[in-house]
Amino acid sequence: MGASGYSGEELVRLLLSHPHVELAAITSRQYAGKTLAQVFPRFAGHPRARALRFIPPETQALPKQIQIAFLALPHGVAAEFAQPLLELGCKVIDLSADFRIRDPEVYKEFYAHDHPVPELLGQSVYGLPETYREKIKTASLIASPGCYPTSILLPLLPLLRAGLIKSSGIIADSLSGVSGAGRKAELDYLFVECNESMRPYGVPKHRHLSEIEQELSLAARTPVTIQFTPHLIPVNRGILTTLYLAPEKHFTNAAEMFALTGKITACYQAAYGDEPFVRLLDGDALPDTKNVAGTNGVEIAWRLDGRTGRLIVMSALDNIVKGASGQAVQSMNILCGFPETSGLA
């Protein structure tokens, strides 16, 4: 549902070449009647893309055999489709923020209106496979997290769970490619306005803070409030996040620093050593979004700073793959019992 935005397009790309998936229907009000290949010429090499036509986004128009429905719709719109789709017996994977917040009050605070189907909030599973893999296996409604949350949560959750960093004073400084703004005809996202430009936006209270803080608080077992500054950068794809953290136990000499280094290494190794998509960089390597572009991978590196006593953690991912559509496919793989890397290698 909603296959004409950047996330929808990328989802289609992944599903078209997924070995265990048949793409049964794609919806778009704007493009209804056109084939996938007409709207996105890059898919024209796939026979399925030349045959499959967009249909209007209406539940009753969907073919009967659908088992999984992906919602790549604007925030607020996705919520309307979940209930009818669930009633049809579909599993639903929602790429919007509509079902990511557990508490309807928090939802209202950040999104400025009541949640339309609050009874579904308790039923949804936050679709971050590295954290909720077991719950995803049996979920019927998956709220797949977006790019900023994924780039912030993956590096932070293991440290908070292990009590290695203070849960207060966390700062996340993030850089996003322009596809993160969606395929919207607005002046701010014109080529000439973005090229040769670097700019912060949404300072200081970005709405994605709500889900980020929800998940951090669960990991820390205490309410967590973070500082988050997103910036718009002239690349098509990518999120680069730099986190500024205070170790729980302050180090004051080389021996303590060495000990802490060992603990952090072990913590990340335990959390992600076997994860197929998380890459812990070693040696001098630092994350670079070009290394993850077009893939479902996440690069993470960290440094202790002996001068300031801080821990700096950096992550890079592709905002429309691991930060959107790849993550949703990863959840689908888990849900369906496919190898987790199917269609994502």
- As annotated, the active-site residues are 147
Residue 122 to residue 25: CA distance in whole angstroms: 28
Per CB under 8 A, the list member of 83, 123, 140, 295 interacting with its own copies is 295
Closest to 293 (Cα-Cα) out of 236, 253, 339: 236
Q: Which is nearer to its own copies, 19 or 63 (CB)?
A: 19
Q: Which is nearer to its own copies, 79 or 232 (CB)?
A: 232
| Phi and psi at residue 289, to the nearest 5° | -60, -25
Residue 141 to residue 3: CA distance in whole angstroms: 19
Give yes or no for residue 33 binding its own copies (CB under 8 A).
no
Give yes or no for residue 290 binding its own copies (CB under 8 A).
yes
Give yes or no for residue 140 binding its own copies (CB under 8 A).
no
Q: Site residues for its own copies, window 255-284 (CB under 8 A)?
A: 276-277, 279, 281, 283
Give yes or no for residue 252 binding its own copies (CB under 8 A).
no
Give yes or no for residue 248 binding its own copies (CB under 8 A).
no
Question: Do residues 98 and 79 touch, judged by C-beta distance below 8 A?
Answer: yes
Please count the CA atoms within 13 angstroms of the CA of 281 that sit on its side-chain side.
20
Shortest distance, CB of residue 200 to its own copies, whole angstroms?
Answer: 5
| CB burial readout 266-288, b (16+ within 10 A) else e | ebbeebbeeebbbbbbeeeeebe
Q: Site residues for its own copies, window 41-60 (CB under 8 A)?
A: 41-42, 44-46
Shortest distance, CB of residue 306 to its own copies, whole angstroms?
Answer: 8
**DSSP structural state of residue 121:** T
Shortest distance, CB of residue 63 to its own copies, whole angstroms?
Answer: 24
Question: Do residues 175 and 239 touch, judged by C-beta distance below 8 A?
Answer: yes
Q: Which is nearer to its own copies, 85 or 156 (CB)?
A: 156
Closest to 111 (Cα-Cα) out of 45, 43, 208: 208
Shortest distance, CB of residue 56 to its own copies, whole angstroms?
Answer: 20
Closest to 97 (Cα-Cα) out of 116, 125, 76: 76
**DSSP structural state of residue 183:** S
Q: Which is nearer to its own copies, 139 or 293 (CB)?
A: 293
How would you class 114 by CB atoms within 10 Å of its CB: exposed for 0-12, middle for 13-18, buried for 19 or more?
exposed
Shortest distance, CB of residue 241 to its own copies, whole angstroms?
Answer: 10
Q: Which is nearer to its own copies, 28 or 124 (CB)?
A: 28
Shortest distance, CB of residue 154 to its own copies, whole angstroms?
Answer: 15
Give yes or no for residue 322 binding its own copies (CB under 8 A).
no
Q: Which is nearer to its own copies, 82 or 278 (CB)?
A: 278
Per CB under 8 A, the list member of 240, 300, 328, 332 interacting with its own copies is 240
Name 237's Cβ contacts closer than 8 Å, sequence gap at least 6.
177, 179, 289, 293, 294, 318, 319, 320, 321
Q: Site residues for its own copies, window 174-233 (CB under 8 A)?
A: 175, 177-179, 183-187, 189-201, 203-205, 225-227, 229, 231, 233
Q: Site residues for its own copies, window 77-136 (CB under 8 A)?
A: none
For its own copies, how many residues bind (rule: CB under 8 A)?
A: 78
| Phi and psi at residue 92, to the nearest 5° | -120, 130
Per CB under 8 A, the list member of 1, 2, 3, 6 interacting with its own copies is 6
